[in-house]
Structure formats: C-alpha cells, structure tokens
Amino acid sequence: MKDIFEIRGFFYRLEGLNCRSYLNITRRGTSQVDPDLLVVMMNPGNSKPLDEMYKGEKETVARPDRTIMQIMRLMDKCELSYCRILNLTDIQETRSNHLYEILSQPKTKKMIHSIFDPRRQAEFDELYPRDTRTVLAWGVHEALTEWAQMALDRIGKENTLGLQKDETETAYYHPLPPSHYKQKTWVNQITEQIKNRQQF
C-alpha cells in the first residue's frame, strides 16, 4: 500500500506532548485537492513523522502504522484518492489506558488538544470540508464518551458512516480490532457502506 499512497501530516508539541492535528493520505499521482473521505479516530497512535521531528512548522511525510494501513486498504477497495484523518485528541500516545489517564487529568482538560474544541473553530472549518463522507471509528471505550460527543456535536450525523456499537450513542468500532478476521470485516463493511452511499 505504501507504494500506492503518500502519507503526510502536521506534527507539533503541546505542553511537552507529541501531537498531530491531521494526516492526509493521497493516491500517488492524484491532482485532487479536496478529500473524498474523512475518518475520525481516537488519537494519532503510532504514525510518526519520518524525520521524528515535531516542529509544528509545516506538513511533513509520515510513516503509516497498522491502523493507517487499514484505511489505505479501505481507500483502495473504494477507489478513493484522498482521505484526511482527524482525531478526538491530537495527543500521540500508543498505550490506550495511558491515554485515558492523560485525558482525565485536570491539566489536560484545560489544554486545547482536540480539533473539535470550539476554541479551534477556524482550524476545524479549514480541515473539515462540509458534505464530505465521514467514517466515525474512534472505538468504544467509555473513557472517550465526552470527546466523542464533542466531535458529534461539531460534525452532525448527516454524512457519517461507521459501525456503531449496539445500544450506544457515541461508540463506533475502531478499524483495527484484535483479530485479523475482524479487521477484514471492518474494511468490508465500511466499503459496503461507502459504495451504497455512492449510489444515491
């Protein structure tokens, strides 16, 4: 997949934490300037800048992680050329339980670490083109409920896709579940949703 798509993101530091505000995945050779798909996930995970620098100065080439590989598989199956990934939080922490601890701290709650924070309205408007299909895929842990609700308040549900957990309002399954079978199932089910939406 890495020879089909190019991955670039904006990486920065906030209060001593590594962060990423967005990641763009584009098919090599495309001239497309606007995303044809948006994906909202939990946090940047293990996809890092190729130069390991978090300067916050310009968009840089990034390494994919296993979750980004899942999104590239989805793009390839749906013949999409440009996907932008946003996250509930920009904080890059690979250990989920540690991330939940960070998010619960009073210091973190005062930080502007989410693109969905109303204080980042101008940036949100720039990075989130309206009327673009959006896959909701931030996971189902209850610790994310507050941040997931904030995202839904900003996005709305009109153009959203995703695998919603039964009997929940804000929980959507992550692209990289533990088993390989479930990973393939996620890609196939979201592919079906996208292709069904394209028929209308």
Portion of the chain with pLDDT greater than 70, in percent: 98
pTM here? 0.94
Residue 145 class from Cβ within 10 Å (0-12 exposed, 13-18 middle, 19+ buried)? middle
Residue 197 scores a pLDDT above 80? no
Report in angstroms the alpha-carbon separations of 45 from 64, 85, 192.
10, 12, 26
Domain hosting 99: range is: 5-198
Q: What is the pLDDT of residues 110-156, one digit of tens each?
A: 999 999 999 999 999 999 998 899 999 999 999 999 999 999 999 99
Write a three-state SS string for the chain.
CCCCEEEEEEEEEECCEEEEEEEEEEECCCCCCCCCEEEEECCCCCCCECCCCCCCCCCEEECCCHHHHHHHHHHHHHCCCEEEEEECCCECCCCHHHHHHHHHCHHHHHCCCCCCCHHHHHHHHHHCCCCCCEEECCECCHHHHHHHHHHHHHHCCCCEECCECCCCCCCECCCCCCCHHHHHHHHHHHHHHHHHHHCC
Number of structural domains in the chain: 1
Residue 66 scores a pLDDT above 60? yes
